[in-house]
Chains A and B, each alone.
Chain A
Protein backbone atom coordinates (compact mmCIF):
# COMPACT_ATOMS: atom_id res chain seq x y z
CA UNK A 1 0.00 0.00 0.00
CA UNK A 2 1.30 3.45 -0.96
CA UNK A 3 1.64 6.07 1.74
CA UNK A 4 -1.28 8.36 2.40
CA UNK A 5 -2.26 11.38 4.49
CA UNK A 6 -5.95 10.80 5.17
CA UNK A 7 -7.99 7.63 5.56
CA UNK A 8 -11.70 7.33 4.78
CA UNK A 9 -13.59 4.13 5.48
CA UNK A 10 -16.96 3.90 3.69
CA UNK A 11 -17.50 0.22 4.51
CA UNK A 12 -21.19 -0.66 4.53
CA UNK A 13 -22.21 2.43 2.56
CA UNK A 14 -23.67 2.18 -0.90
CA UNK A 15 -23.80 4.25 -4.09
CA UNK A 16 -23.44 7.22 -4.30
CA UNK A 17 -22.11 7.75 -0.76
CA UNK A 18 -18.51 6.54 -1.30
CA UNK A 19 -18.06 9.06 -4.15
CA UNK A 20 -19.76 11.87 -2.23
CA UNK A 21 -17.69 11.24 0.90
CA UNK A 22 -14.49 10.99 -1.14
CA UNK A 23 -15.22 14.36 -2.69
CA UNK A 24 -15.88 15.88 0.73
CA UNK A 25 -12.59 14.54 2.13
CA UNK A 26 -10.59 15.68 -0.89
CA UNK A 27 -12.07 19.16 -0.63
CA UNK A 28 -10.43 19.57 2.78
CA UNK A 29 -7.03 18.38 1.52
CA UNK A 30 -4.11 20.14 -0.20
CA UNK A 31 -2.94 19.43 -3.74
CA UNK A 32 -0.56 16.46 -3.70
CA UNK A 33 -1.96 14.95 -0.50
CA UNK A 34 -3.21 11.38 -0.68
CA UNK A 35 -6.47 9.82 0.45
CA UNK A 36 -6.83 6.14 1.31
CA UNK A 37 -10.44 5.23 0.53
CA UNK A 38 -11.91 1.94 1.72
CA UNK A 39 -15.22 0.73 0.25
CA UNK A 40 -17.42 -2.34 0.24
CA UNK A 41 -19.80 -1.04 -2.43
CA UNK A 42 -19.05 -3.22 -5.48
CA UNK A 43 -20.01 -0.30 -7.75
CA UNK A 44 -17.15 1.77 -6.32
CA UNK A 45 -14.77 -0.32 -8.43
CA UNK A 46 -16.09 1.46 -11.53
CA UNK A 47 -17.32 4.68 -9.91
CA UNK A 48 -14.15 5.81 -8.15
CA UNK A 49 -12.01 5.70 -11.33
CA UNK A 50 -14.77 7.62 -13.17
CA UNK A 51 -14.96 10.19 -10.36
CA UNK A 52 -11.18 10.63 -10.34
CA UNK A 53 -11.01 11.01 -14.10
CA UNK A 54 -13.65 13.74 -14.15
CA UNK A 55 -12.34 15.76 -11.22
CA UNK A 56 -8.65 16.08 -12.07
CA UNK A 57 -7.49 13.90 -9.19
CA UNK A 58 -5.16 10.93 -9.66
CA UNK A 59 -5.79 7.28 -8.85
CA UNK A 60 -2.46 6.02 -7.51
CA UNK A 61 -3.43 2.52 -6.49
CA UNK A 62 -6.36 0.10 -6.46
CA UNK A 63 -6.44 -3.19 -4.60
CA UNK A 64 -8.91 -5.63 -3.16
CA UNK A 65 -8.40 -7.66 -0.01
CA UNK A 66 -10.51 -9.10 2.82
CA UNK A 67 -13.58 -8.35 0.71
CA UNK A 68 -12.87 -4.62 0.66
CA UNK A 69 -11.79 -2.26 -2.07
CA UNK A 70 -8.85 0.03 -1.34
CA UNK A 71 -8.03 3.11 -3.38
CA UNK A 72 -5.28 5.63 -2.96
CA UNK A 73 -6.21 8.95 -4.54
CA UNK A 74 -3.97 11.96 -4.94
CA UNK A 75 -5.57 15.37 -4.92
CA UNK A 76 -4.96 17.23 -8.20
CA UNK A 77 -4.97 20.95 -8.91
CA UNK A 78 -8.26 22.38 -7.64
Chain B
Protein backbone atom coordinates (compact mmCIF):
# COMPACT_ATOMS: atom_id res chain seq x y z
CA UNK B 1 0.00 0.00 0.00
CA UNK B 2 1.22 3.47 -0.88
CA UNK B 3 2.49 5.65 1.93
CA UNK B 4 0.48 8.79 2.63
CA UNK B 5 1.61 12.37 3.18
CA UNK B 6 -0.76 14.99 4.58
CA UNK B 7 0.29 18.65 4.58
CA UNK B 8 -1.37 21.80 5.89
CA UNK B 9 -0.10 24.84 3.96
CA UNK B 10 -0.89 28.01 5.90
CA UNK B 11 1.61 30.52 4.53
CA UNK B 12 1.18 32.70 1.46
CA UNK B 13 4.65 34.13 1.03
CA UNK B 14 7.16 33.25 -1.68
CA UNK B 15 9.46 31.47 0.77
CA UNK B 16 6.53 29.87 2.58
CA UNK B 17 5.12 28.47 -0.67
CA UNK B 18 8.11 26.32 -1.58
CA UNK B 19 8.17 23.67 1.18
CA UNK B 20 4.66 22.25 0.63
CA UNK B 21 5.02 22.03 -3.15
CA UNK B 22 8.59 20.65 -3.04
CA UNK B 23 7.72 17.94 -0.55
CA UNK B 24 4.41 17.08 -2.20
CA UNK B 25 5.86 16.76 -5.71
CA UNK B 26 8.81 14.72 -4.45
CA UNK B 27 6.61 12.47 -2.32
CA UNK B 28 4.41 11.83 -5.35
CA UNK B 29 7.55 10.89 -7.32
CA UNK B 30 8.42 8.43 -4.53
CA UNK B 31 5.01 6.82 -4.82
CA UNK B 32 3.23 8.52 -1.93
CA UNK B 33 -0.42 9.45 -2.02
CA UNK B 34 -0.39 13.17 -1.17
CA UNK B 35 -2.97 15.72 -0.10
CA UNK B 36 -2.31 19.36 0.74
CA UNK B 37 -4.88 21.32 2.70
CA UNK B 38 -4.56 25.06 2.01
CA UNK B 39 -5.85 27.31 4.74
CA UNK B 40 -5.66 30.99 5.66
CA UNK B 41 -2.82 32.69 3.73
CA UNK B 42 -1.91 29.36 2.16
CA UNK B 43 -4.94 29.84 -0.12
CA UNK B 44 -2.87 32.39 -2.03
CA UNK B 45 -0.85 29.43 -3.37
CA UNK B 46 -3.92 28.25 -5.29
CA UNK B 47 -4.69 31.49 -7.10
CA UNK B 48 -4.32 31.69 -10.88
CA UNK B 49 -2.04 34.69 -10.90
CA UNK B 50 0.49 34.15 -8.16
CA UNK B 51 1.92 37.37 -6.77
CA UNK B 52 3.79 35.89 -3.84
CA UNK B 53 6.23 38.13 -2.04
CA UNK B 54 8.96 37.83 0.50
CA UNK B 55 9.58 40.53 3.06
CA UNK B 56 12.68 41.28 5.12
CA UNK B 57 10.38 43.01 7.63
CA UNK B 58 10.14 40.92 10.78
CA UNK B 59 12.49 38.39 9.20
CA UNK B 60 15.98 39.08 10.54
CA UNK B 61 17.33 35.89 8.94
CA UNK B 62 16.77 37.12 5.39
CA UNK B 63 20.11 37.90 3.73
CA UNK B 64 20.24 41.42 2.25
CA UNK B 65 23.09 42.89 0.17
CA UNK B 66 23.51 45.59 2.82
CA UNK B 67 22.05 45.63 6.34
CA UNK B 68 18.65 47.36 6.29
CA UNK B 69 17.35 48.56 9.69
CA UNK B 70 13.71 47.64 10.42
CA UNK B 71 12.61 51.29 10.42
CA UNK B 72 13.80 51.59 6.79
CA UNK B 73 12.11 48.33 5.77
CA UNK B 74 8.69 49.96 5.88
CA UNK B 75 9.49 52.23 2.93
CA UNK B 76 7.42 51.40 -0.16
CA UNK B 77 9.30 49.36 -2.70
CA UNK B 78 11.57 47.51 -0.33
CA UNK B 79 9.36 44.43 -0.29
CA UNK B 80 9.20 44.57 -4.08
CA UNK B 81 13.00 44.76 -4.19
CA UNK B 82 13.49 41.87 -1.76
CA UNK B 83 11.05 39.74 -3.81
CA UNK B 84 12.79 40.61 -7.07
CA UNK B 85 16.14 39.74 -5.52
CA UNK B 86 14.89 36.40 -4.20
CA UNK B 87 13.28 35.44 -7.51
CA UNK B 88 16.46 36.31 -9.39
CA UNK B 89 18.51 34.18 -7.01
CA UNK B 90 16.13 31.23 -7.28
CA UNK B 91 16.38 31.40 -11.06
CA UNK B 92 20.17 31.72 -11.05
CA UNK B 93 20.47 28.64 -8.86
CA UNK B 94 18.19 26.52 -11.03
CA UNK B 95 15.37 26.27 -8.50
CA UNK B 96 11.96 25.58 -10.02
CA UNK B 97 9.29 28.28 -9.78
CA UNK B 98 6.28 27.78 -7.50
CA UNK B 99 4.08 27.67 -10.62
CA UNK B 100 6.21 24.85 -12.07
CA UNK B 101 6.13 22.82 -8.85
CA UNK B 102 2.38 23.34 -8.50
CA UNK B 103 1.88 22.13 -12.07
CA UNK B 104 3.98 19.02 -11.36
CA UNK B 105 1.87 18.37 -8.24
CA UNK B 106 -1.32 18.48 -10.31
CA UNK B 107 0.19 16.25 -13.01
CA UNK B 108 1.24 13.69 -10.41
CA UNK B 109 -2.19 13.53 -8.77
CA UNK B 110 -1.41 15.43 -5.59
CA UNK B 111 -4.81 16.47 -4.27
CA UNK B 112 -4.98 20.21 -3.57
CA UNK B 113 -7.74 21.03 -1.11
CA UNK B 114 -8.85 24.60 -0.42
CA UNK B 115 -10.20 25.22 3.06
CA UNK B 116 -13.83 26.23 2.47
CA UNK B 117 -14.10 28.33 5.62
CA UNK B 118 -11.10 30.56 4.91
CA UNK B 119 -12.01 30.70 1.20
CA UNK B 120 -15.34 32.22 2.23
CA UNK B 121 -13.71 34.35 4.92
CA UNK B 122 -11.44 36.07 2.40
CA UNK B 123 -14.20 36.34 -0.25
CA UNK B 124 -12.35 34.35 -2.90
CA UNK B 125 -14.29 33.65 -6.10
CA UNK B 126 -14.17 30.39 -8.10
CA UNK B 127 -12.52 32.35 -10.90
CA UNK B 128 -9.59 33.34 -8.64
CA UNK B 129 -8.46 29.76 -8.27
CA UNK B 130 -6.69 27.33 -10.61
CA UNK B 131 -8.57 24.38 -12.11
CA UNK B 132 -8.41 20.96 -10.55
CA UNK B 133 -8.61 21.81 -6.87
CA UNK B 134 -11.07 20.43 -4.34
CA UNK B 135 -12.71 21.96 -1.31
CA UNK B 136 -12.99 20.66 2.20
CA UNK B 137 -12.93 21.37 5.89
CA UNK B 138 -11.23 20.19 9.04
CA UNK B 139 -12.90 16.78 8.93
CA UNK B 140 -11.85 16.28 5.28
CA UNK B 141 -8.23 16.80 6.26
CA UNK B 142 -8.40 14.69 9.42
CA UNK B 143 -10.01 11.78 7.63
CA UNK B 144 -6.93 11.52 5.39
CA UNK B 145 -4.37 12.62 8.01
CA UNK B 146 -5.75 10.07 10.48
CA UNK B 147 -4.04 7.26 8.64
CA UNK B 148 -1.25 9.19 6.93
CA UNK B 149 2.36 8.10 7.49
CA UNK B 150 3.64 11.69 7.53
CA UNK B 151 1.68 14.78 8.55
CA UNK B 152 3.17 18.25 8.35
CA UNK B 153 1.99 21.72 9.24
CA UNK B 154 3.70 24.46 7.24
Inter-subunit contact B22/A16 (CB<8 Å): yes
Nearest CB in chain B: distance from A44 CB, A: 12
| Given A12-B94, A14-B95, A17-B96; A54-B26 close (CB under 8 Å) | no
Interface residues on chain A, number (Cβ under 8 Å): 15
User: Chain A 34-72, CB within 8 Å of chain B: the 1/0 string?
Assistant: 000000010000000011001100000000000000000
Inter-subunit contact A13/B94 (CB<8 Å): yes
Interface residues on chain B, number (Cβ under 8 Å): 12
Question: Given the complex, which residues of B lie within 8 Å of A16, measured CB to CB?
Answer: 22, 25-26, 29, 96, 101
New contact pairs (14) apart from A16-B29, A20-B25, A41-B94, CB-CB < 8 Å: A12-B94, A14-B93, A14-B94, A14-B95, A15-B22, A16-B22, A16-B96, A16-B101, A20-B29, A23-B29, A51-B29, A51-B30, A54-B31, A55-B29
The A-B contact count (CB < 8 A) is 35
Question: Given the complex, which residues of A lie within 8 Å of B26, measured CB to CB?
Answer: 16, 19-20
Question: Given the complex, which residues of A lie within 8 Å of B95, measured CB to CB?
Answer: 14-15, 17
Nearest CB in chain A: distance from B68 CB, A: 27
**Distance, CA A19 to CA B27, complexed state (A):** 10
